[in-house]
Amino acid sequence: MKIQLLGTAAAEGYPAVFCKCDSCNRARELGGKDIRTRTSAIIDDFLKIDFPPDTFHHVLTHNLDLGSIEHLLFTHTHHDHFHPEDIRMRTPIFAHAIQYPLNIYGNDVVMAKCQNVLAASKESFKLHRIQPFEKVQIGDYQVTPLPADHNPMETCLLFYIEKGNKRLLYGHDTGWFPEPTWSFLEDKQLDIAILDCTNGLIQGRRNHMDIDAVKEIKAIFTDKSIINPTSKVIATHFSHNINLSHQALQNLLEPAGIEVSYDGMIIEI
Ligand SMILES: [Zn+2]
Ligand SMILES: [Zn+2]
Ligand SMILES: [Zn+2]
């Protein structure tokens, strides 16, 4: 399984779109891995997770063949993950020589908003409502949505994704996992866990998580043999408010065996 992380920032981007704080100014000066765009990932060039407003930038930067992607999975509808207006560009007037429909998977809010925005070209899209703990088959992948603690007004989802003997937990946006999610994971074995670390050293584990929470989850995963020494744990979705460079994040997380994400990072498991 190949996972490509296209964006690794929180909602505002890092540097944030309008911000002139020290953290954002330093990111602009450093460039490289300190420039973080809004969150998305692609698995095996087949399954895309989330569609942020930076998607066109991702296509250009990473030379993505986005027209060949026929499956799009949503965690939730916060704007940094969900920009359906640009999905409209995958309709016959704007996109030629591609296969229709695009399959879109998401919670009831995703379905309602997509129905609204994509109403003029219904035949170009197939909407699949997904619910926690109801496994869906997408090509060779089994995807089990799990509840997150993120926005009480919406069923925000994490994903447990299996393909053959490879298993990925795609875990953001989330706070500390709700108990039913812990119960589900109890007897699982993960090759990779990608975890929300929005808050850095700012304490907080409701809605998003901090470094301590990510370390604690890794420790629990290890105790319960949910991960083994070869499994990868990766922290992502960083806010400019944490005021930590990529190097500073590495200094804090790598001694605990946690990798720091960056835009364009490719992980093979
Ligand atoms: Zn987010
Ligand atoms: Zn800033
Ligand atoms: Zn969110």
> What confidence tens digit (pLDDT) does each residue in 150-207 have?
999 999 999 999 999 999 999 989 999 999 999 999 999 999 999 999 999 999 999 9
Instruction: Read off the pLDDT of residues 204-241 as tens digits, 9 standing for 90 and up.
Output: 999 999 999 999 999 999 999 999 999 999 999 999 99
Cα 243 to ligand 2 centroid, rounded to whole Å: 8
* E strand map for 153-265: 157-163, 166-171, 192-196, 232-236, 259-260
Using CA atoms, how far apart are residues 36 and 239, in angstroms rounded to an integer?
Answer: 9
Give the ligand at the shortest distance from the Cα of 23.
Answer: 2
User: What percent of the chain is predicted at pLDDT more than 70?
Assistant: 100
Token pair 């998401």 is found at 106
| CA separation for the pair 75, 82 (Å, rounded) | 9
Please give the pLDDT value at position 172: 83
CB 150 within 8 A of CB 77: no
Q: 117 CA to middle of ligand 2, Å?
A: 31
Quick check: 70 pLDDT over 90? yes
What is the pLDDT at residue 107? 98
Q: Residue 68 above 90 pLDDT?
A: yes
Q: Is the predicted pLDDT of residue 105 greater than 90, yes or no?
A: yes
Q: How far is the CA of 207 from the centre of ligand 1 (A)?
A: 10
- Whether the Cβ atoms of residue 217 and residue 177 lie closer than 8 Å to each other: yes
Cα–Cα dist 65/171, whole Å: 25
How does the average pLDDT of the chain come out, rounded? 97
Å from CA of 28 to ligand 3 middle: 24
| Pick from 7, 8, 58: nearest CA to 236 | 8
CA of 17 to the centre of ligand 1 (A): 15
Q: Which of 145, 167, 147 is nearest to 228 (CA)?
A: 167
Model-wide pTM > 0.85: yes
| pLDDT > 90? residue 136 | yes
C-alpha–C-alpha distance, residues 91 and 99, integer Å = 10
Instruction: Tell me which amino acid residue 75 is.
Output: T
* pLDDT in the model for residue 47: 98
C-alpha 160, offset from chain centre: 12
Could you tell me which of 145, 169, 179, 4 has the C-alpha nearest to residue 75?
145
> Per-residue confidence at 63, pLDDT binned at 50, 70, 90?
very high
How far, in Å, from the CA of 196 to the mean position of ligand 1? 9
Q: How many whole angstroms from 98 Cα to the centroid of ligand 1?
A: 29
Q: Which ligand is nearest to the CA of 153?
A: 3
Other residues' Cβ atoms within 10 Å of the Cβ of residue 97: 5
Find tokens 């930067």 and name the residue.
61
Determine the pLDDT at residue 39.
Answer: 97
Closest ligand relative to 150 C-alpha: 3
Report the distance separating Cα 208 and Cα 256, nearest Å. Answer: 20
Ligand nearest to the CA of 50: 1
Residue 147 CA to ligand 3 centre (angstroms):
13
DSSP 123-152: GGEEEEE--TT--EEETTEEEEEEE-SS-T
pLDDT tens sequence across 243-257: 999 999 999 999 999
pLDDT band of residue 79 (cuts 50, 70, 90) is: very high
Sheet strands side by side (includes 102-106): 125-129, 102-106, 71-73, 47-49, 40-43, 2-7, 266-268
Pairing of strands 71-73, 47-49: parallel
What's the confidence (pLDDT) of residue 8?
Answer: 98
pLDDT confidence of residue 138: 98
Give the ligand at the shortest distance from the Cα of 81: 1
**CA 183 and chain centroid, separation:** 22
Cis link prior to 92 (omega < 30° from 0)? no
What letter does residue 100 receive in the DSSP assignment?
S
Contact between residue 144 and residue 181 where contact means Cβ atoms under 8 Å apart: no
Q: Give the mean model confidence (pLDDT) for residues 141-145.
A: 98
